[in-house]
Structure 1
Amino acid sequence: MKILPVLILLFAFVGSVVAQDWPDWRGTNRDAIWKSENIIEKFESDTIAIKWRVPINPGYSGPTVANGKVYLSDRIEKPVSQERVLCFDETSGKMLWEFTYDCEYSGIGYPAGPRASVVIHENRAYALGSMGNLFCFDAEKGSVIWEKNLNKAYEINMPIWGIASTPLIVKNKLIVHVSGNNNAGIVAFDKNTGNEIWRNLNDRAGYSAPILIEKNGKQVVVNWTEHSLSGLNPETGEVYWRFPWQTGSGMSIATPVLSDDHIFVSAFYSGSLLIKLGNDYTTAEKVWQREGESERKTDALHCVMNTPIILGKYIYGVDSYGELRCLDFNTGDRIWEDQTAVKRARWANIHFVQHQENIWMFNEQGELLITQLSPKGFNEISRAFLIAPTRKQLGRGVCWSHPAFANQHIFIRNDNELVCASLKK
């Protein structure tokens, strides 16, 4: 009679190890680490079988997955311009709820649709649109708990490609790159009420999502805007450290990467920057910064949307025309370059996700690759086609949205559909 509770606990533990939601931008900790077990080691054919697919409208927003549901945002252009927040059943793809609101795009280039991922936290869903419409929903029902028109409230200094940075939750706060006037570059809201708690920086927002780092009891929010890389106190907004750096065309897009008490960022026109953090992350100093002559004659690494990955003492990332590169962590010197992971093109993109010793890559041609990276070179284990590129995001046909890797499945969208495929062994 005493065995049953032990078995229940064992099954619960095993289930928690095998299953993993993807409730935020780049996963639970925004670090693109996928921990699900019993995953395939190579593809059986050159095309991945689709478990379910549902029609959607255009947008760049990558899906998120939590508590049996998949969340996404998209855009309707006619008869009036609107943005939508959508919720689907994770198992079947059935739409569970949708919320639509009028949203006329003004002054936004590449107007395919919303950029930021929907963040799920404590049964609430937080969605941010391209013009600065911020919502908090009941994640189960889709009812609005609170909403804010950030453009109206803060007079947004609109980035060229709209508001794109996925908000960050820290304790009771929702930290948003508002890009507002009057020192409202970054604003912290009460996640339960929407009331402002603090604001700081006159920076115009880039497109990079903030991350939370912590050491020796100190938490720091790392923000990469059009004008600087900074570390702020999440409780007060106080600036701990700040490196002024105006990126070309505001192309601060990739997420900052934390590795071995360092932060690394890279931009299309402006090259790369590595900083070293102090003992409690409230201080920082520049290690190296490198920039090439042009977008074609690059130095070190000039990323676009790709967020690099750091393994040991090496940095791996995708350069301005799709060149997969390996850099020496300490200097930025190039170790090798490979042109086979994605077709060469301006802004060619790959999203990296780490699963155990393998790096999964989703390239803009809609292909999923299982690979390994080392200073010796790029090792492609397996590659298969997953979803068709579409032309609404870019004329040549791309799929730029970030996939969600959740519960032994992958969820990815283009401008026409959201699909789910099993990656279970």
Structure 2
Amino acid sequence: MKPLSCTTSSRTLASLLLAVLSSLSSHGESSSWTGWLGPDRAAQAQGFEAPQTWPDKLTEHWRVEVGEGYATPLVIGNRIFQHARQGDDEVVWCLDRTSGKAIWRKQMPVEFVPGRNGESHGLGPKSTPTYADGRVFTLSIIGVLTAWSAEDGKRLWTRDFREYFDVSHPYWGTATSPLVEGDRLFAHTGSCENGALFCLDPETGKDLWVRKEEANCYSSPRLETFEGVRQLVSFNHDGLCGYDLEDGSLLWKHSYPHLGNNQNTPTPARFKNVLVVGGESRQVFGLRISKSADGWNAERIWRHREAGLEMSSPVVQGSLLYGFSPLKTGQFFCLDPLTGAMKWKGTPRMGENAQLLSIPGYILTLTDDGTCRILQATGDKENVVHHYQVSKGETWAAPALLHDRLLIKEKNHLTSWGFAE
């Protein structure tokens, strides 16, 4: 199967970029949430200033039915983009940020049958789209990558990776989110047994290079610079790896294979030259990345048995790391990312999953029961300064936090909340 492509004239592209940049400037750069875990995939809410006094309740601006799925909404200027599923189709919405009204809606039929008792997680997309240069890139539950015009929703090109694999998604569906930097688009697709890391031209969807050595998993990659070298950091089926951006060659690898149903899911967090990550039913650990005359080295410097990471990605605030462990039926924790020393473990029985975002002085958390908690970011104890009920149903998708609002993707709805009374 050949990739579809669409040639955009320079005049049309220039007009589109001008429109997007104008929209951005009218709201400020802090209004953007361009992909998984926000800017740089560091779960850092840029531009958000915590109120001097947290309000007793949040203000609901609007609530829109968009379909099921775990994708985080994107925000570019005054537009919100949401990937979801309605009926037999996956849909891409473009909504007005102020009102929630639809600007455009596009759909594609997607047939998906989950394996290994994954039915409870639904049929909706689990990957969060990414935005770059006037395009929104979505990765379907079955691993079909599509580029859409952010201006009008025109489908620019599609890559169906079944041209490489008989099965192009893991048992529970594709959950890794695509990533763009400059003129390169990265996507790790395929099944748990047979996958590949693709580097594509974002304008055409054509391969720049393909690496077939490591299989796919449920984690999303991030871009980092170690020892002056920009590289793609990927937590895949086989472990944690660093790849050269130019040709996909392996720089370093820490073997940490996905075993049975114990998936590799969280996106690693970084503090200085240490990456912190963990897998389901296994502990959390710290990996120091360095380079010497003998080459790259990925050294595990600590492992913690009092906490784990299952589906929740950890975040860094200041010099401390915060996470959500499945132990004790779900509890938050705080540790030193350089030594692994536990600072505190929080209240047990918090839920099955939580998403975390870092804001100055605080950690915003969203548990799967729809509770948003504001934790004071200190290393002495768990301190919940306020909590809000932002959904009556389950909330498994990571939120998007802007300078003036919080976007929550429920099972079938997207809701906009404000912190002002």
Smaller-chain TM-score range? 0.7 to 0.9
Q: Out of 9, 18, 21, which is 2:32 matched to?
A: 21
Please identify, of 188-197 and 376-385, the stretch whose mean Cα deviation from structure 2 is larger: 376-385
Asked if 1 retains the 8 angstrom alpha-carbon contact of 2:69 and 2:412, the reply is no
Paired residues in the alignment total 389
Q: Paired residue for 2:72?
A: 62
- CA drift of 1:182 comes to 11
- Partner Cα separation in structure 1 for residue 94 and residue 175 of structure 2: 20
Q: Paired residue for 1:402?
A: 398
2:104 aligned with 1:97:
yes
- Partner Cα separation in structure 2 for residue 400 and residue 169 of structure 1: 24
Q: Paired residue for 2:18?
A: none
Structure 1: which amino acid aligns with 2:337? F
What SS does the corresponding residue of 1:247 show, helix, strand or coil?
A: coil
| Structure 1 runs not aligned, ≥5 long | 1-11, 292-298, 390-397
Q: Paired residue for 2:374?
A: 370
- CA drift of 1:257 comes to 1.0
What SS does the corresponding residue of 2:59 show, helix, strand or coil?
A: coil
Q: Paired residue for 1:325?
A: 333
Structure 1 residues 15 and 149: alpha-carbon distance in aligned structure 2, compared to 1, 3 A threshold? closer
Q: Out of 302, 305, 315, which is 2:311 matched to?
A: 305
Structure 1 residues 120 and 185: alpha-carbon distance in aligned structure 2, compared to 1, 3 A threshold? same
Q: Out of 89, 113, 126, which is 1:82 matched to?
A: 89
Q: Out of 237, 241, 244, which is 2:255 matched to?
A: 244
- CA drift of 1:235 comes to 1.3
What SS does the corresponding residue of 1:50 show, helix, strand or coil?
A: strand
What SS does the corresponding residue of 2:234 show, helix, strand or coil?
A: strand
Structure 1 segments of 4+ aligned residues over 4 angstroms from their partners: 12-15, 180-184
Structure 1 residues 373 and 98: alpha-carbon distance in aligned structure 2, compared to 1, 3 A threshold? same
What SS does the corresponding residue of 2:253 show, helix, strand or coil?
A: strand
- CA drift of 1:37 comes to 4.4
- Normalised to the residue count of structure 1, the TM-score between the two structures is 0.85
- CA drift of 1:332 comes to 2.8
Q: Paired residue for 2:321?
A: 315
2:357 aligned with 1:353:
yes
Q: Paired residue for 2:272?
A: 260
Q: Paired residue for 2:282?
A: 270
Asked if 2 retains the 8 angstrom alpha-carbon contact of 1:227 and 1:247, the reply is yes
- CA drift of 1:155 comes to 3.3
Asked if 2 retains the 8 angstrom alpha-carbon contact of 1:157 and 1:181, the reply is no
- CA drift of 1:164 comes to 0.8
Please identify, of 329-338 and 248-257, the stretch whose mean Cα deviation from structure 2 is larger: 329-338
What SS does the corresponding residue of 2:99 show, helix, strand or coil?
A: coil
Q: Paired residue for 2:46?
A: 35
- Partner Cα separation in structure 2 for residue 111 and residue 62 of structure 1: 16
| Structure 2 runs not aligned, ≥5 long | 1-23
Asked if 2 retains the 8 angstrom alpha-carbon contact of 1:42 and 1:382, the reply is no
What SS does the corresponding residue of 1:374 show, helix, strand or coil?
A: coil
- Partner Cα separation in structure 1 for residue 64 and residue 356 of structure 2: 25
What SS does the corresponding residue of 1:29 show, helix, strand or coil?
A: helix
1:277-311 CA-to-partner distances (Å, cap 9, x unmatched) read 1259x7232233537xxxxxxx1421122211234
Structure 1: which amino acid aligns with 2:322? Y
What SS does the corresponding residue of 2:162 show, helix, strand or coil?
A: helix
Q: How does 1:122-133 map to 2 (within 5 A)?
A: 122-133=133-144
Q: Paired residue for 1:48?
A: 58
Q: Paired residue for 1:283?
A: 296
Q: Out of 187, 195, 198, which is 2:198 matched to?
A: 187
Structure 1 residues 114 and 339: alpha-carbon distance in aligned structure 2, compared to 1, 3 A threshold? same
1:21-51 CA-to-partner distances (Å, cap 9, x unmatched) read 1111111111111122454344432x42210
Structure 2: which amino acid aligns with 1:378? E
- Partner Cα separation in structure 1 for residue 216 and residue 45 of structure 2: 28
Q: Paired residue for 2:244?
A: 233
What SS does the corresponding residue of 2:60 show, helix, strand or coil?
A: coil
Please identify, of 141-150 and 209-218, the stretch whose mean Cα deviation from structure 2 is larger: 209-218
State the identity %. 22
- CA drift of 1:334 comes to 3.1
1:137-184 CA-to-partner distances (Å, cap 9, x unmatched) read 101100011111113444345312111111111221110011269985
Q: Paired residue for 1:71?
A: 81
Q: Paired residue for 2:146?
A: 135
Q: Paired residue for 1:211?
A: 222
Structure 2: which amino acid aligns with 1:76? Q
Asked if 2 retains the 8 angstrom alpha-carbon contact of 1:213 and 1:220, the reply is yes
Structure 2: which amino acid aligns with 1:105? F
- CA drift of 1:15 comes to 6.3
